[in-house]
Structure 1
Amino acid sequence: MSQQQPPKIEFPCENYPIKVLGEAGPELHTYVVEIMERHAPGFDQERITVRESSKGRYHSVTVWITATGVEQLTAIHEDLRVNTNIKMVM
């Protein structure tokens, strides 16, 4: 059996979503915006969505960027994961 390969992304890729799940609090939103501005300057902050978990302990923050390449996405993921309040990056 051959393994199915994930679809290839064509860059630049507009409207690329990145979802960050972390402990609730304003620090999460601020940190996500800071990292996105560093790696995808000028992204549309009006499109950011924040959802609260059922018990309010976690928030998911979703942003949409124009992805320019694998290097950019890897750098974003690595910078987000440095923060110990962040539990998952998708």
Structure 2
Amino acid sequence: MDTRFDELLDFPCHQTFKVMGIAHETLPDQVVSCLQQHAPSDDYAPTIRPSSKGNYHSVSIRVKVTSKEHMELIYTELAKLELVRYVL
């Protein structure tokens, strides 16, 4: 992944990741578990919003990222989760 995050952001910083996936009760836990592996924190507080038809959930979560590579790694790892369809 070759992004311009380092040109646009001053690291370390907080970034909100929005993960959209299949509406399943374990989606928020899977997102937090993935983040704990790559950016450990005790205060993750995901916000979950269902889609209009209820088939998908959007999980927004604020994460402290330390570098361009760290941010790219988080995007990549979240996208690998089975229930996830998009990471913004």
Q: Which bracket does the TM-score occupy, shorter chain normalised?
A: 0.7 to 0.9
C-alpha displacement of 1:9? 0.4
- Greater shift, 22-31 or 53-62, is seen at 22-31
Tell me the equivalent position of 2:37: 38
Given the two structures, how large is their TM-score scaled by the length of structure 1? 0.83
| 1:66 paired to 2:64 | yes
Give 5+ residue unaligned stretches, structure 1: none
Q: Retained in 2: the 8 A contact 1:35–1:79?
A: yes
Find the structure with the greater CA-based Rg: 1
Tell me the equivalent position of 2:11: 11
Structure 1 residue ranges, 4+ long, deviating more than 6 angstroms after superposition = none
Tell me the equivalent position of 1:25: 24
One-letter amino acid of the structure 2 residue matched with residue 8 of structure 1: L
Q: Retained in 2: the 8 A contact 1:36–1:43?
A: no
Tell me the equivalent position of 1:57: 55
User: Aligned residues, how many?
Assistant: 84
C-alpha displacement of 1:36? 0.8
In structure 2, C-alpha distance between the alignment counterparts of 1:83 and 1:33, rounded to whole Å = 11
One-letter amino acid of the structure 1 residue matched with residue 28 of structure 2: H
In structure 1, C-alpha distance between the alignment counterparts of 2:69 and 2:77, rounded to whole Å = 12
User: What is the Cα-based RMSD across aligned positions, in Å?
Assistant: 1.7
One-letter amino acid of the structure 2 residue matched with residue 18 of structure 1: F
